[in-house]
């Protein structure tokens, strides 16, 4: 059944104009609300006596539930995050954030420019209520009135979106950060409207590091080594971790102080790290139990960079593979297991030679497995400290390593290592 048919069915059930229901339904679907949930919230909206129903009751924020169809709430605006979405083929600016009173905090989406700012005390009349992630959320639409109150409401929550990176979670809006830009590169990606230039990289502050994307190319201010204040960012999940998004609504200001980004990553037991889910920057210590298939010399697709088997890419068919080196090491500390993936640079260090050396080695032996065996001989059975980005999914935990160091606690060992380096 298409959207039109769903709207028709709803309209006849609820006894309202189909056009009206269709517009609302499209809005909700455009906003990624699942179809069934969208239909339910429209049944709630129109259900109780249709559009001319009873006036919504004034409620405390803490009392709003997902069974309310609409409410009137007075609260203090904590955050305002601006964003554009494409609706019916047109760009539309919406704002999202949080409103609070003394009883609680609730998130909102405003589909019109109501003009309120963080810190304002407002009365939101006849706001729709919808369920988002199991929680009620205010929906400020064309039926909603917003009145600014002169008396500021005192609330036990911080006003404004000032945050540390460690506190960010996917879904946060209107966030303000003071950060150091640790890595930054300009890339072209396949965007909604074709190829799009973006900046991407890593931000850091005193608490942690997180990836970022700048959709509006602030190339003058956002560059590696800079310290900047970013006002009005939003946070999305990227590979399981929070990612900071800078948009056309973000104000970027260079700071006259330099933000000291943390040098170290939090150290965790592997079991606890895996149970906690994906983490952008973490340090794990464990013994390498084995190296997995796909370690050593590999070939990648020149189109998509994925590892290929026998010259065949799953997406691009027969391709001329590009040689590369990598290690997939099984790391275990007794509490859990993760697969540490070493890129070419780290693998060359472990192997003790370059990619070209490895290719020569394999050619001489007429077997590329000699490279894998040489790598395994260096690391299997030994304790290692591995820093990197941990992603956890149904298939297990993968640590994309940025650092991979053997631990030699035994002074004699350390002396031997030093001597070997001097001799080498
Ligand atoms: Zn490919």
Determine if the pTM surpasses 0.75.
no
Higher-pLDDT residue of 60, 31:
60
Q: How far is the CA of 191 from the centre of ligand 1 (A)?
A: 19
Residue ranges and CATH numbers for the domains of the chain are 1-54 (no CATH), 165-254 (2.40.50.140), 267-423 (2.40.50.140)
Q: How far is the CA of 155 from the centre of ligand 1 (A)?
A: 54
Q: How far is the CA of 246 from the centre of ligand 1 (A)?
A: 30
Q: How far is the CA of 299 from the centre of ligand 1 (A)?
A: 11
Residue 346 to residues 279, 287, 382, 386, Cα–Cα distance (Å) = 20, 17, 16, 11
Residue 385 reports pLDDT greater than 70: yes
What lies within 8 Å, CB to CB, of 8 at 6+ separation is 18
Q: How far is the CA of 314 from the centre of ligand 1 (A)?
A: 6
Q: How far is the CA of 307 from the centre of ligand 1 (A)?
A: 8
pLDDT of res. 423: 55
Q: How far is the CA of 323 from the centre of ligand 1 (A)?
A: 14
What lies within 8 Å, CB to CB, of 163 at 6+ separation is 172, 175, 176, 177
What is the percent of the chain where pLDDT is above 70?
93
pLDDT band at 366 (very low <50, low <70, confident <90, very high): very high
Q: How far is the CA of 300 from the centre of ligand 1 (A)?
A: 8
Average pLDDT for the chain: 89
pLDDT of res. 42: 79
Residue 424 reports pLDDT greater than 50: no
Residue 102 reports pLDDT greater than 90: yes
Q: How far is the CA of 308 from the centre of ligand 1 (A)?
A: 8
338: β partners:
331
Q: How far is the CA of 167 from the centre of ligand 1 (A)?
A: 37
State the Cα–Cα distance between residues 35 and 200, nearest whole angstrom: 33
pLDDT of res. 46: 72
Q: How far is the CA of 298 from the centre of ligand 1 (A)?
A: 14
């Amino acid at each position: 059944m298409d959207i039109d048919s769903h709207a028709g069915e709803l309209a006849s059930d609820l006894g309202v104009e189909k056009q009206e229901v269709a517009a609302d339904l499209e809005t909700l679907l455009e906003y990624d609300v699942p179809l069934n949930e969208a239909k339910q919230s429209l049944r709630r909206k129109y259900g109780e006596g249709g559009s001319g129903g009873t006036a919504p009751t004034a409620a405390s924020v803490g009392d709003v539930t997902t069974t309310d169809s609409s409410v009137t709430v007075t609260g203090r605006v904590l955050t305002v995050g601006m964003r554009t979405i494409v609706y019916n083929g047109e760009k539309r600016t919406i704002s999202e954030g949080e409103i609070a009173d003394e009883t609680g905090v609730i998130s909102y989406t405003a589909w019109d420019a109501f003009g309120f700012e963080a810190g304002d005390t407002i009365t939101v009349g006849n706001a729709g209520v919808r369920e988002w992630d199991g929680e009620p959320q205010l929906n400020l639409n064309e039926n909603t009135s917003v009145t600014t109150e002169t008396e500021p409401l005192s609330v036990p929550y911080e006003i404004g979106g000032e945050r540390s990176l460690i506190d960010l979670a996917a879904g946060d809006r209107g966030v303000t950060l003071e950060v150091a830009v640790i890595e930054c590169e300009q890339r072209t990606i396949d965007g909604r409207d074709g190829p799009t230039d973006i900046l991407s990289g890593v931000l850091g502050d005193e608490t942690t590091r997180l990836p970022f994307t700048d959709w509006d190319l602030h190339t003058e201010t956002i560059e590696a080594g800079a310290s900047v204040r970013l006002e009005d960012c939003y946070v999305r999940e990227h590979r399981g971790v929070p990612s900071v998004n800078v948009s056309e609504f973000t104000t970027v200001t260079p700071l006259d102080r330099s933000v000291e980004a943390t040098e170290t990553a939090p150290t965790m037991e592997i079991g606890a790290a895996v149970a906690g889910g994906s983490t952008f920057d973490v340090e794990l210590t464990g013994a390498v139990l084995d190296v997995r298939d796909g370690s050593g010399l590999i070939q990648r697709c020149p189109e998509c960079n994925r590892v290929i088997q026998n010259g065949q890419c799953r997406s691009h068919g027969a391709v001329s593979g590009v040689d590369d080196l990598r290690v997939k090491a099984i790391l275990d500390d007794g509490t859990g297991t993760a697969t540490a993936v070493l890129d070419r640079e780290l693998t060359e260090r472990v192997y003790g030679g370059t990619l070209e050396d490895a290719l020569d080695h394999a050619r001489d032996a007429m077997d590329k497995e000699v490279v894998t065996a040489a790598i395994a001989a260096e690391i299997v059975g030994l304790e290692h400290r591995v820093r990197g980005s941990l992603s956890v999914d149904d298939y297990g935990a993968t640590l994309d390593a940025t650092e991979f160091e053997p631990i030699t606690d035994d002074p004699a060992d350390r002396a031997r290592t030093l001597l070997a380096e001097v001799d080498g």
